[in-house]
Amino acid sequence: DAKTTQPPSMDCAEGRAANLPCNHSTISGNEYVYWYRQIHSQGPQYIIHGLKNNETNEMASLIITEDRKSSTLILPHATLRDTAVYYCIVTRTGANSKLTFGKGITLSVRP
C-alpha cells in the first residue's frame, strides 16, 4: 500500500470548515483513499473513501486531486465533538486488505 503523509496537528474554530490535507504521491491506480478518525479512548471510525472522484456523505467531503497524489478531507461545520485523530489511508479493496495507519493528524476544534 502506498504511504501517506499528514501534518501532525491542526486546529480550527467551532462552526468553521476543517480542511485536513493528505499526500499520497505513490498511490497506484487500484488504490483507494480512506479516512478514519479516532476520538480519544474509542476505536477508529470510518468516515469516507474515494478512488478519483470527489465524494460526500453526511459526515464529510473528500476532494482528490486530478493526479490523485493528494486529497483533502473537509468537515464543513466542525464541532467540539470532531476533535480527534484523523487517519488518511491508501489501500486496495479486497478480502485480504489490511489498513496501514500512520500517526494521523490531530484536529483540535476550539470554541
Partner 1 sequence: ETGVTQSPTHLIKTRGQQVTLRCSSQSGHNTVSWYQQALGQGPQFIFQYYREEENGRGNFPPRFSGLQFPNYSSELNVNALELDDSALYLCASSDTGTSAGELFFGEGSRLTVL
* Residue 94 touching partner 1 (CB under 8 A): yes
* Cβ proximity to partner 1, 17 vs 51, nearer residue: 51
- Alpha-carbon torsion (69, 26, 36, 6), positive or negative: negative
Strand partners, 92: 31
Strand-strand pairing, 70-75 and 18-23: antiparallel
* Cβ proximity to partner 1, 66 vs 96, nearer residue: 96
* Residue 61 touching partner 1 (CB under 8 A): no
* Cβ proximity to partner 1, 12 vs 105, nearer residue: 105
Residues 16-55 that bind partner 1 (CB under 8 A): 32, 34, 41-46, 49
State how far the Cα of 54 lies from the Cα of 85, in Å rounded to an integer.
Answer: 22
